[in-house]
A = this chain, B = another copy of it.
Amino acid sequence: MKIIHTPRHLGHSGHVELNNGQIVPAFEKPERVAMILDAIGARGLGPLVEPTAHGLDPLLAVHDPAYVRFLAQAWELWTAEGRDTPALPSFWRAPGMRFIEPDAIDGKLGHFSFDAGCCIVAGTWDAVQAGADAALTGVDLLSGGERAAFALCRPPGHHAHAGTMGGYCFINNAAVAAQGLRDRGAARVAILDVDYHHGNGTQAIFYERGDVLVCNIHADPMQEFPYFLGYADETGAGAGEGFNANFPLPWGTDYEGWSAALEAACGRVNAFAPDALIVSLGVDTYKHDPISQFRLDSPDYVGIGRRIAALGLPTLFVMEGGYAVEAIGVNVANTLEGFEQA
């Protein structure tokens, strides 16, 4: 399958996060893509293709205009005050506070974010746009008849809400792609999020829509980020009632427990009979991931790819998390190879 990649992700480098009460280099780093490219090349997967520019309209189809405007201006506003450190939010909204976009950049950062891990540097916005273009180029490939494609997006996207960044995510690439498929004629699109963390942004964006099914397999939010979304009783609302499915799993889940949830999620996708599938592909389910607590092993990802292929749907893989840099390439390549060989 075609793998959509551009080195423009490198602009999002040198960023940091607040972790355990300390500022540390972000676990989400450029080397992740380098390792994936290495493994893909070693397996003969590909070819690599460059994303094509799609502009801001497809982003604005799922994100708030004020938020996109903020992302485009944030670094300029931050540095206008003489600062040269990476921009990190520091202040948020308590329950009962007002939904107002402040004039000050520190206030804007809090207004449009939900953690202290969504760090903006000089090249962030360009990298984010390039990632969204990669996802949209994948949409073009599927619309053109390809069975599958892999959008090697970086930074990831599934935590980004319509108007809020967080969890290393700025633009929700999977949501942009799902909307892109709808706009190109797909009546129903399913999103299967296999990242260790709940794809809260993706869920929230489509929560009241019946045309996009969102299925999430992830760590129980009682124990794990994003904490405040991803519970089993979140089944959609309004026209979207019944079109959101969460499979929270406890710390320590191994492939046996995890694949049972995958089977259930695939059952939901089958029943939905979508025209296309988007896989939010995170491999932080891996047993040695530095910020995660599941126990999947590298060979398990072959099985994941194979099971997804059995759905028999045009499939766009969109890269999300995975922070065990030494294994991320193998785990992603295993998933794609399992899919292709099915």
Chain A interface extent, by class:
35 or more
Residues of B within 8 A of A19 (CB): 90
Residues of B within 8 A of A90 (CB): 17-19, 115-117
Each complex incorporates copies of this chain amounting to: 2
Q: Nearest-CB distance from A37 to chain B (Å)?
A: 30
Verify if A27 is at the interface (C-beta below 8 Å from B). no
- The 8 A CB mask of A208-237 against B (1 = contact, 0 = none) is 000000000000011111111101000000
Residues of B within 8 A of A200 (CB): 94, 97
Verify if A100 is at the interface (C-beta below 8 Å from B). yes
Residues of B within 8 A of A88 (CB): 18, 21
- The 8 A CB mask of A151-170 against B (1 = contact, 0 = none) is 00000000001011010000
Known: A94-B200, A97-B200, A100-B231. 19 other contacts (CB 8 A): A17-B90, A19-B90, A21-B88, A22-B85, A91-B166, A91-B226, A92-B92, A94-B113, A94-B164, A94-B166, A94-B201, A94-B229, A96-B229, A97-B226, A98-B228, A99-B228, A107-B223, A107-B224, A110-B228
5 contacts between A and B (CB under 8 A): A91-B114, A94-B200, A95-B164, A96-B161, A97-B200
